[in-house]
A and B are shown apart, each in its own frame.
Chain A
Amino acid sequence: MNVHARRIAFVLSLLLSAAASGQRAQITPADCQDCHSQAATQPSTTMGHALETVEKSTVLTLHPVLSAAIGKYSYRIVRNHNQSLYSVTDGSRTISMPVRWAVGASFAIGQTYILEKNGKFYESRVSWFRELKGLGPTLGSQNIAPANLDDAVGRLMSHDDLVQCLACHSTNAVSRQNLTLQTMVPGVQCGHCHGDLAKHLYDQIGSTFASQQLPGQAFSLKSRSAEDVADFCGNCHRTWAQIASQGNPSIANVRFQPYRLTESQCFDPDDPRISCLACHDPHKEVDSRPADYDATCNACHAGGKTGAKTCRVSNSGCVTCHMPKLELPGGHFRFTDHRIRIVKPGEPYPG
């Protein structure tokens, strides 16, 4: 069977099984690799691991026993075959719950666990942080003492919490605010950003690619303005509108890059040279070498844009001065502040 025939057979089986189950088809990056090389690299990125099943959790596999004592409570996450059990004790009583998923920036920064017991989901009160090489209080709970042992386990997640969490950390887990766990693909995979892949594949049989023309469907962001891309990425990484509406500017928003970027003096909503994609290829792991970003800065600041000043100090390593790394309290990570600016010594954090 040639490649085209194989694809037709695949698409038909996919559509038939989806129709039979009444759900959307489950498509993984492996199904996209034949045509798109990006699908080969993207799954291994931190975004690709934004949610891991307990069976495939990198951190829990590498650390079969994790433990921490926080206040009067002791926590343990113990691996048994491909499962992990999360326990907390106050010395007299112990509560245990199985880990269902690990969510976060995985091995790059840290991850929090979603526990499941009796059909209810809980956000673990402790998380794994790479900087700590172990467990610490989950971001947001570090200054709040649990009221009792039940509270010390974690936070009971409502339906809306789960929708919000899984909509960003996984693919096809949410459709129109409803959970569709049957079709969930762990992590941020092709379908998360590129829309209705089943339709795209179906179109591909006839080589029409009609679905690429539909708004919100399989599309490319390359030609979009900086504002559009910031809004698109900001759906999960937070847009300016989302954060500005909350009205509590503080260092806590340093991790919301699209919001920070659009606050920059040099942000031009119409100029793709300042879009998220000008620096980041979402199909590859984020580049940690400052010099690699110089070309993007110099596209405007080396005479390429009217009014964009040239730096009197240096024309390399721009981000090291103009995008300082800042510690997020409780996050155990120094985030790059995407609000590009001339940083003055001793200035307060510009929220």
Chain B
Amino acid sequence: MRYVILILFSSMVALAQTPSPQALVQDAIQQQRAGHLEAAVTEYRQFLKLRPDATAIHSNLGAALAGLGRFEEAISEYQIALKQSPELAGTRLNLALAYYKMGRFSEATPELERVHKESPTDHQAALLLADCYLRMGRDDDVIRVLEPEEKSYPDDLAVAYMLGTALIHAKRVPEGEVLVDRILRNGDSAEAHLMLGEARMNISDFAGARAEFAKAVALNPKLGDAHALYARSLMMTGDSDLSAKEFRAALTYEPYNFDANLQLGAAARLQENYKEAETYLLRAQETRPDDPGVRYQLALVAIDQSKLDDARRTLESLVKQYPQFTEAHVSLALVYYRLKRPDDGKRERQIVLKLTAEAQAKQPGVHQQ
């Protein structure tokens, strides 16, 4: 699926005062069409120095940057364009897509909601919006968006997959099963195996899930999420080598796949490849800046590199924000001891013991003494 919308404003170019900007922008458009995105970016930027208010060129530059995987820069350009012309639906869709590709679903959602509201028949926008809702656990919203789509596109497996999943999550199992059956009846599809795999993951049947996800990626190797799910099942069954390979495959199709970046970062740390670990983890953090798991892994990388003050700062802020995060308290205790602050270390250990005792008391069959 390609959502990139190249907006050509030849009329605006014709109005250019000097031939130089016109030549620049025409060449940039040709470069972009020919797939020479780096050259296009350079020329668009040169043009924008001369005409910073050229809305369409900001939008085109955003598309070229997105094509290069430079989503953060693309987002800035789209935002400038939309500030100048908020009615540009194509640019808004591109902005949403850039957020989506970075895994920043909560930021993609309001943009997609606006596109969907203004263009309710835009099937791609509806699908993307539903996918964002699904990833954020907003099952009722998935159902609301996709029920009309399902009537218009009864053969679309992506619709059936997302709507079926949301209906089952929302305890509307019989309705969900109708859609699951449709996917399964449709033959050996990646969506069917993904659905079966996720169901097995939910009941901790990791070996079963692994088999289903393997079939899903074999049927559609371009599904980044399928690779990430397959990788996760491989990790749960103890095959970290293959798991890393699949996480890397996920990143080929979705460079900002959060799970893949996080897990590869954690694995690289264990292999003492700290630079590589930081690269993955920082990319995961771009997707979810406040995710405690990523921040914790970054703190561990800092500990391993003896950057104890960096680690301390990260861990202190983590435990302040998530006081129940036992592992963060454990690592913070370790850092305090290494920083020769035994009293602080002891205090953290006491917190760990308290949290552990509380967690244990909540386990079924445990009697308090």
Q: Show the binding face of A for B, using Cβ within 8 Å.
A: 157-161, 163, 176-178, 227, 231, 240-241, 244-245, 247-249, 268-270, 348
Give the contacting residue for A270; candidates B340, B349, B359; CB below 8 A.
B340
- CB distance B360 to A247 under 8 Å? yes
B239 engages A241 (CB within 8 Å): no
With contacts A177-B271, A270-B342 known, is A245 near B330, CB below 8 A? yes
- Interface on chain B toward A: helix, strand, loop, or mixed SS? helix
Docked complex Cα distance between A348 and B369 (Å): 10
Partner of A158, one of B239, B267, B369: B239
B337/A269 in contact, CB under 8 A: yes
> Does residue B338 face the partner (Cβ distance < 8 Å to A)?
yes
- Once the chains bind, are B369 and A244 in contact (CB under 8 Å)? no
In the complex the two chains form, is B237's CB within 8 Å of A247's CB?
no
**Chain A contact surface mostly:** mixed
How many residue pairs at the A-B interface have CB separations less than 8 Å?
Answer: 61
Q: B306 — nearest CB in chain A belongs to which residue? A: A215
Say yes or no: B237 contacts A244, CB within 8 Å.
no
> Which residues 303-339 in B have Cβ within 8 Å of A in the complex?
326-327, 330-331, 333-334, 337-338
**Size class of B's contact patch?**
20 to 34
Closest residue of A by beta carbon distance from B352 = A244
By beta carbon, the residue of chain A nearest B235 is A160
B164 located at the interface, meaning its Cβ lies under 8 Å from any Cβ of chain A in the complex: no
- With A160-B238, A241-B334 known as contacts, the answer to whether A247 contacts B356 (CB < 8 A) is yes
- Is there a chain A Cβ closer than 8 Å to B23's Cβ? no
B265 proximity list for chain A (CB < 8 A): none
Contacts of A240 in B (CB 8 A): 330, 333-334, 349
Name B327's contact: one of A157, A178, A245, A348 (CB within 8 Å): A245
Residues of B within 8 A of A269 (CB): 337, 342, 345
Would you call A241 and B271 a contact (CB within 8 A)? no
Q: Are A177 and B240 in contact (CB under 8 A)?
A: yes
List, sorted by A's number, 7 A–B pairs whose CB atoms are closer than 8 Å: A158-B239, A176-B270, A231-B334, A244-B330, A247-B326, A247-B359, A269-B342
Say whether A249 contacts B330, CB under 8 Å. Answer: no
For A157, A248, A269, A348, which residue has the most chain B Cβ atoms within 10 angstroms?
Answer: A269
Q: Give bound CA distance, A248 to B326, whole Å.
A: 12
Given contacts A244-B326, A244-B352, 12 further A-B contacts (CB under 8 A): A176-B271, A178-B241, A240-B349, A241-B330, A241-B334, A244-B333, A244-B349, A245-B327, A249-B356, A249-B360, A270-B340, A348-B369
Query: CB-CB < 8 A to B53: which residues of A?
Result: none
For the complex, give the distance between the alpha carbons of A269 and B344 in Å: 12
Question: B345: nearest residue on chain A (CB-CB)?
Answer: A269
Contact B360 A159 (CB under 8 A): no
List of A residues within 8 angstroms of B338 by Cβ: 227
CB–CB A248/B240 < 8 A: no
Closest chain A residue to B355, Cβ basis: A247
Q: In the complex, what residues of B have CB within 8 A of residue A159's CB?
A: 238-241
- Given A241-B331, A244-B330, A269-B345, CB of A176 within 8 Å of CB of B272: yes
Q: Which residues of B in the span 256-278 have a Cβ within 8 Å of any Cβ on A? A: 267, 270-273
Q: Which residues of B contact A160 (CB under 8 A)?
A: 238-240
* Contact in complex: A158, B337 (CB < 8 Å): no
| Closest residue on chain B to residue A157 by CB atoms | B238
Given A245-B330, A247-B360, A270-B340, A177 and B267 contact (CB-CB distance below 8 Å): yes
